[in-house]
Amino acid sequence: MTNVLDKFRLDGRVALVTGASSGLGVAFAECLAEAGADVVLAARRLDKLDETAARVRAAGRAALPIATDIADPDQCTALVAAAMAEYGRIDILVNNAGVATAHPATRETPEQFRSVVDINLNGAYWAAQACGRVMEPGSAIVNIASILGITTAGLPQAAYSASKAGLMGLTRDLAQQWGARKGIRVNALAPGFFASEMTEQYRDGYLDGLAPRMLLGRQGDPRELAATLIWLVSDASGYVTGQAITVDGGVTIT
């Protein structure tokens, strides 16, 4: 009988992580490598991708950094083509690339709103579409959503919240399209507040004001979220699809 812990291993698999140049994307890439996967790294900043690639290689796995703007469908297609040329397979997609803004709804411009949706929702779809065309049965996609697709947190973030709620809907639809027909599982992670470049942009005192909603009394560690990701992309979650898994220290139940 196979040891249950072996189901969490990703040896021989290739993972593609978007938004891999900073924050949660770095933690995801590093932990995927620690679990045994080679990692394709995508983001707009190639210099920062090289730093993530060094972390992946330090964990003993191969890394392929590719400068990509996922809001451009053609660049997503080229990204997947480059990954296939290098490794011949893509087993895992982590749709992590995202941006956040905070504009009052009466003053937010069409350009500001569209720029967020273009990356957070449209870009995730283009990346999933390109990967879905080449993925084999047993592959897994995880879309990084947010608790702001479920609840609110005091900032005027209509574009961000709408994009993340839309990403959860996209997750469900792709799961039903690609489950039995293609053997691809599609799930979402809805993180709470984890240390990242995004949280560093919050105004002073903002997170302190949310402390009563954090039932564990602290922000999350990115590697805690990455551990949940490893479960979702591994055989350990082989009967889980179409779900949005909330990892938020209890914020959404307060």
Catalytic sites, residue numbers: 160
Beginning with the edge strand found earlier in the chain, give each strand of the sheet holding 14-18 in spatial order: 63-67, 38-43, 14-18, 92-95, 140-144, 185-191, 244-247
C-alpha distances (whole Å) from 32 to each of 52, 89, 139, 159, 226 are 12, 16, 14, 30, 8
Which is it for the CA torsion 199, 223, 63, 92, positive or negative? negative
Output the six-digit token pair for 58: 């330090």
Q: Write the DSSP assignment of the chain as a string of letters.
A: ---GGGGG--TT-EEEEESTTSHHHHHHHHHHHHTT-EEEEEES-HHHHHHHHHHHHHTT--EEEEE--TTSHHHHHHHHHHHHHHHS---EEEE---------TTT--HHHHHHHHIIIIIIHHHHHHHHHTTPPTT-EEEEE--GGGTS--SS--HHHHHHHHHHHHHHHHHHHHHHHHH--EEEEEEE--BSSHHHHTSPTTHHHHHGGG-TTSSPBPHHHHHHHHHHHHSGGGTT--S-EEEESTTGGG-
